[in-house]
Amino acid sequence: MKTKILIPLLLSLGLLYGCAETNPHPMDMSQAVENAKTKADHEALAQHYEAAAKDMQLKVDEHKKLLSKYESHSYLYGKKAQDLKAHCRNLITIYQNGVDANMSMAKMHREM
């Protein structure tokens, strides 16, 4: 009985760990934004936001490929296919919002 509970629990924890963002942000953005005074400072921030947007866009593209795979081969995933597709759609939306927000911040700093 304990094995029936333990195995799904361990698999769930492994999945959560795999989805977690493990690398912390390399710099304190609120401090960097506060200290930005010169055009070079704002240019550096704009480049940082564009790099973050590029990373998120890669994740959008990756999840779009996965979604396509889940949609075209849903029979391979059985009852979980709908969950996997919904999960990918949610991540695509979240990462796309991040891309848009980072590009907006980059544009704003370039205009400063």
| Tens digit of each residue's pLDDT (9 = 90 or more) over 11-43 | 555 655 555 554 555 567 667 666 677 778 888
Domain presence at residue 42: yes
In eight-state DSSP terms, residue 76 is G
Domain presence at residue 19: no
CA distance 22 to 88: 20
Domain presence at residue 90: yes
Domain that holds residue 109: 36-112
Q: Pick out the chain residues at pLDDT < 70.
A: 1-27, 29-30, 32-35
Domain presence at residue 30: no
Query: Please, are residues 41 and 31 in contact by the beta-carbon 8 Å criterion?
Result: no
Domain presence at residue 6: no
Domain presence at residue 18: no
